[in-house]
Amino acid sequence: MPPAERILQGDRLALARLLSELENQTSQGEATLGELYPHTGKAHIVGVTGAPGTGKSTLVNRLVQKLRTAQPDQAPTVAVIAVDPSSPYSGGAILGDRIRMRDLAGDTGVFIRSMASRGKLGGLASATGAFTMAFDAAGYEVILIETVGAGQAEVDVASRAHTTIVIDAPGLGDDVQANKAGILEIADILVVNKSDLPGAARTLRTLEMAMHLALPASGSLGGWDIPVLATAATTGEGIDALAAAIASHRQFLLESGGWGERERLRTRTQLEQDLAASLMASFLDPEIEARFDSLVQSVVERKLTPRAALDALLGEDSSSRR
């Protein structure tokens, strides 16, 4: 049976193989993804981002547990994509957690995949998009994508998700606190994690204030009031409210037409990044790369302007195609 068919039938091994193919950007992987594409478009894609160490992985683990155990009969299947993670995923079970629950590591409704390969230029961004499509086609109903940083990250999660959750935590310092406006542009849900730590109330107030400053008139973005939630991922505090907010946002998007808008944005971002990556890939040819290096040197030495170097590169590229 061809891999695409096996994946559509829920074969986890075939899916795992495809993910590796996609990570390595093989043509076999691309071909399978092409066959799967018509089966995508159903999943709720949720981005989870925030500064390093704010508790994103711990929170995602909790969320997966919550989604899978709340109403077992109607629990959504969940895939997790951890982009360039520095902390490991446990497969849903948190170390030292004494709450009795199903062992998510053996739960076939959960698929967790980390991705750390930076092999090729644009590799992470492109693989994240490809993984999302693969999970979507395979029938995973919620896809959680964890990335570090907000906005400036290589994988700009906000333009890849339907719902973006920005995680903050107390004690990150004033420079981070001062950068709230940027966060507000991408957040659909704001979370102050580590609410068990001192300073959490202050962080919560800062965020709420920044939000009122950014959105003085209506206090909402196109009808959606960005919730500011307090959680403690290590104890599970606030996870119910977070899961509810995610479900509400999905409902809001479906009812307001925002879902289609985000689908267009997601597709456009993917195409733009693939285009940039594929143009760059033409320069990864060792011969052209050597020329690239010598042009960089010439620009550094002021023998060429950056524009002239660009023209030289583009000229080289078009002549090599003849």
Comparison of 60 and 304: residue with beta carbon closer to Mg ion:
60
Applying CB under 6 A, among 10, 34, 41, 52 the residue interacting with ligand GTP is 52
Joined together, the tokens standing for residue 3 give 């891999």
| Structure token pair of residue 199 | 């300073």
Nearest to Mg ion of 32, 61 (CB atom) = 61
**Interacting positions 137-156 with ligand GTP (CB under 6 A):** 148
Q: How far apart are CA 63 and CA 240, in angstroms?
A: 8
Q: Rule CB under 6 A: choose which of 40, 87, 177, 298 binds ligand GTP.
A: 87
In this complex, which beta carbon is closest to Mg ion, that of residue 56 or of residue 262? 56
Scanning 13-21, 26-34, 111-119, 226-234 for contacts with ligand GTP by CB under 6 A, the matching segment is 226-234
Based on DSSP, count helices (H) and strands (E) in the chain, helices before strands: 12, 7
Binding ligand GTP (rule: CB under 6 A), the pick from 70, 99, 178, 197 is 197
- For the bound state, the minimum distance from the C-beta of residue 196 to ligand GTP, rounded and expressed in Å, comes to 5
Measured between alpha carbons, how far is residue 101 from residues 68, 90, 106, 169, 214 in Å?
A: 10, 14, 12, 27, 41
Compute the distance between CA of residue 97 and CA of residue 11 in angstroms, rounded to an integer.
30
Amino acid present at 155: V
**263 touching ligand GTP, by CB under 6 A:** no
Beta bridge partners, 148, equal 50
Interface map 94-133 toward ligand GTP (x if CB under 6 A): ----------------------------------------
Taking the mean position of all CA atoms in its chain, how far away is CA 9? 25
Contact residues for 243 (Cβ-Cβ < 8 A; gap 6+): 63, 66, 67, 70
Site for Mg ion in 76-95 (CB under 5 A): 85, 87
Question: Which range binds Mg ion by CB under 5 A, 57-65, 246-254, 299-307, 310-318?
Answer: 57-65
DSSP 8-state secondary structure symbol assigned to residue 173: -
234, 248, 269, 298: which one binds ligand GTP (CB under 6 A):
234
236: amino acid identity, one letter = G
- Please identify, among the stretches 176-184, 219-227, 229-237, 255-263, the one whose residues bind ligand GTP according to the rule CB under 6 A: 229-237
Binding status of residue 262 toward ligand GTP by CB under 6 A:
no
**# chain residues binding ligand GTP, by CB under 6 A:** 18
Shortest distance, CB of residue 187 to Mg ion, whole angstroms? 18
Identify what 29 binds: Mg ion, ligand GTP, none; CB under 5 to 8 Å per kind: none
Runs of H (alpha helix) within the chain = 3-8, 12-23, 27-36, 56-69, 123-137, 174-177, 180-186, 200-214, 239-256, 258-281, 286-300, 306-320
Q: Please say which residue, 56 or 66, places its beta carbon nearer to ligand GTP.
A: 56
58 binds Mg ion (CB under 5 A): no
- Among 128, 131, 110, 137, smallest CA distance to 5 is for 137
* Dihedral pair phi/psi, residue 112, rounded to 5°: -115, 130
Binding residues for ligand GTP, rule: CB under 6 A, are 52-58, 85-87, 148, 193-194, 196-197, 232-234
Binding residues for Mg ion, rule: CB under 5 A, are 56-57, 85, 87
